[in-house]
Amino acid sequence: MALMWVKNIEKETKQNTTFRTALWTGKHSQLTVMSLKPGEDIGLEVHPEVDQFLRLERGTARVEVGPSRDVLSERYDVGEDWAFVVPAGTWHNVVNTGDTDLKLYTIYSPPNHPAETVHVTKGDAEAAERTG
């Protein structure tokens, strides 16, 4: 196993066809690429102990954030080359609002998924979360 992950992140992100693939997992952070179909979302979630950085490489999205599941008080329309940070404890969702696949990468700190996670579809991701 290589000591570092060194690749073209834009290329890796745009070529990804899975809902979620963990490209690299370290002790303090994790790099994951995602692809959302038109109208698909990540799913409303919160990470109590994890900060999350996200960057869109292709497509358009609506980002919804707030202090609780029932209070998503902020909404942003974002597109290619936009980035945003979701602090630990913040409820959030990303919805693909375009007519093509949304391509993004995210850095979790600390890691949020098991190393080498691959969820081909959103259904796979939801099933993995249910089984722990």
pLDDT in tens, 57-109: 999 999 999 999 999 999 999 999 999 999 999 999 999 999 999 999 999 99
Residues 123-129: what's their mean pLDDT? Answer: 83
Give me the sign of the Cα torsion angle 5, 35, 48, 84.
positive
Report the predicted TM-score, pTM, of the whole model to 2 decimal places: 0.90
List Cβ neighbours of 38 (8 Å cut-off, separation of 6 or more).
Answer: 96, 98, 99, 100, 101
pLDDT level of residue 132 (50, 70, 90 thresholds) = low
The tokens for 131 are 């089984």
pLDDT level of residue 1 (50, 70, 90 thresholds) = low
What gap in Å lies between CA 121 and CA 102, rounded to an integer?
A: 14
What gap in Å lies between CA 72 and CA 124, rounded to an integer?
A: 26
Per-residue burial over 84-94, b = 16 or more CB atoms within 10 Å of its CB, e = otherwise = bebeeebbbbb
List Cβ neighbours of 80 (8 Å cut-off, separation of 6 or more).
Answer: 56, 57, 58, 59, 60
Give me Rg for the CA atoms of the chain.
14
